[in-house]
Amino acid sequence: MQHQLEQFLRALRAADVKVSPAEAIDAARTIVAVGYADRELFKDALCATLAKTRDEVDRFDQTFETFFSRDQFHLPPPPPDGERKGGESGEPSPAEEAAANSPLAQMLLQGDSTAVAQAMEAAAERAGVGEIRLSTQRSRLTRKLLDEMGLAQIEQIIANARRMPDGEGLADRLDAARRALAAEAQRYVERQHELYASGSGKALREEMLAKKALNADGGIDPVDLAMMQALVRKMAKRLADRYSRRRHKAHRGHLDVRKTLRRSTAYGGVPFEIAWKIKKVDKPSIVAICDVSKSVAAAAQFLLTFLYSLNDVVDHLDAYAFSGRLIPVNDILDDNGVEGAILKVLQTIGFQQTDYGKALEDFVENHIDKVDRHTTVIFLGDGRSNFADPRLDLMHLIQQRARAVIWLNPEPESYWGQGDSVMYRYERFTHVAKQCNTLGQLERIIEDVLRTYVPH
């Protein structure tokens, strides 16, 4: 059972339930305490020790069911006794004798599904099916599993029986059983793959995705879109966690002499109660302005996804989107799901000719009061103005009012200043301007931004 438990923990880890060695020990102690007799009890007790959040409880339930479920074998039932003897003589034919010598053949012929299932577990262990990593290993491992069970021998018996005059019946029965066995082995390997490999495969794909350029041709594959959104949300959440932590910090500062002296009067001038100066924590706010025009079409969806997630986790976020004109999108982000919100923003103002000058004008005219010395302004865009007036004066105004201005550009730095890009001219008015076109980069940058420029 020790081994079984370890396998189960491995499956849990593959399903993204964090199990530390300490918890593994707890699990073993749990099993000692509750025993295996009651399946529900066993499951609930393990669940309490191993799964530590609601999501993990769901994943635990799922893994538990997959791991501890065994399909019933559907072997052809053994024929009635009289028929099996067959022929006039009571003597077994050589083929039957060979079958009697093979334990697997016996199990199959007698339809003993429990024994076959046990044999399969043992064979799987020898074949190392549990080590499965990739989906391409499935067929090889199935073959290996069957070999370990002694399939070659069965095949030989069948071939021999076919050559015998009265061996057809036996051969047919064995053949049917062999096929059932092969199918079951395939299902078994499939299940193992689901348990151990799907998790690591997912991690691998997420890693690839984080490195993929977002404005590559065709953008993000629709297949990966859901995963990307999940990834972005995870990132935003992690950032918000870390960031709220910093906000709570900085409570203890220097000794507040005045308060301490005042409190000490109660003790005859002896400073027993000591008061500390408390740093006032600024309520930070972020203004995000996102370009959704044609030139950044590939990246726009991703930038909006990030904006959406950030809106979920940061208290004070004012979000704007523009291509020709600029509109506030806070309401859209609040009222819709992520896909709906992105679609709606793009429908409203997306994919028109970019006009940075006009957008800045709109912003300064209507929303400049949102920017004060506590505000960090984040621009997400490529800085391509279609040769219109970039209105650097307005950019300068924003820079003067804001605590920090950050520009994230999906284009590589070598493209800045080429063609209609005025990125270099805008860059003078930003505190930091960075290339940002993979999820990995985005996360790193945003983290730097929050640490350096957001007041805390």
Partner 1 sequence: MDALIEGLSSVGYIASRRIATALYMAVNLQKPILVEGSAGVGKTELALSTARLLAHPLIRMQCYEGLDESKALYEWKYGKQLLYTQILKDRMGEALSDAPSMDAAMDRLHGMGDLFFSEPFLEPRPLMQALRQDDGCVLLIDEIDKSDEAFEAFLLEVLSAYQVSVPELGVIKAKTPPLVFLTSNNVRDLGDALKRRCLHLHIPLPEAALEERIVATRVPGIEATLTKELVAFVQSLRTLDLRKAPSISETVDWARALILLHADSLDPSMVRDTLNVILKFEQDIVAVEPQIVELLHRR
Residues that bind partner 1 (CB under 8 A): 18, 20, 22-23, 26, 29-30, 33-34, 38, 40-41, 44-45, 47-49, 51-54, 56-57, 241, 244-245, 248, 251, 267-268, 270, 272-273
Closest distance between partner 1 and the C-beta of residue 17, in Å?
Answer: 11
Closest by CA to 72, choosing from 118, 113, 34, 15, is 113
Sequence-distant (≥ 6) Cβ neighbours of residue 4 within 8 angstroms: none
Nearer Cβ to partner 1 (19/446): 19
Closest distance between partner 1 and the C-beta of residue 1, in Å?
Answer: 18
Closest distance between partner 1 and the C-beta of residue 46, in Å?
Answer: 9
Closest distance between partner 1 and the C-beta of residue 144, in Å?
Answer: 38
Closest distance between partner 1 and the C-beta of residue 37, in Å?
Answer: 12
Nearer Cβ to partner 1 (237/396): 237
Nearer Cβ to partner 1 (223/270): 270
Closest distance between partner 1 and the C-beta of residue 230, in Å?
Answer: 17
Nearer Cβ to partner 1 (222/268): 268
Which residues make beta-bridge pairs with 327?
Answer: 321
Nearer Cβ to partner 1 (187/251): 251
Neighbours of 414 (CB within 10 A): 8
Asked whether the CA dihedral 138, 141, 145, 147 is positive or negative, the reply is: positive
Record the tokens describing residue 163, joined without a space: 């050559």
Nearer Cβ to partner 1 (58/91): 58
Phi/psi at 44 (5° precision): -60, -40
Nearer Cβ to partner 1 (240/445): 240
Nearer Cβ to partner 1 (422/450): 450
Closest distance between partner 1 and the C-beta of residue 164, in Å?
Answer: 59
Closest distance between partner 1 and the C-beta of residue 344, in Å?
Answer: 20
What distances in angstroms separate CA 256 from CA 247, 263, 275, 276, one per listed residue?
21, 11, 5, 5
Closest distance between partner 1 and the C-beta of residue 340, in Å?
Answer: 16
* Look-up of token digits 């706010």: 285
Nearer Cβ to partner 1 (233/391): 233
Asked whether the CA dihedral 120, 122, 124, 127 is positive or negative, the reply is: negative
Neighbours of 133 (CB within 10 A): 12
Closest distance between partner 1 and the C-beta of residue 48, in Å?
Answer: 4
Neighbours of 310 (CB within 10 A): 22
Closest by CA to 379, choosing from 427, 335, 336, 415, is 427
Closest distance between partner 1 and the C-beta of residue 309, in Å?
Answer: 16
Nearer Cβ to partner 1 (41/226): 41
Nearer Cβ to partner 1 (9/158): 9
Closest by CA to 380, choosing from 272, 305, 271, 268, is 305
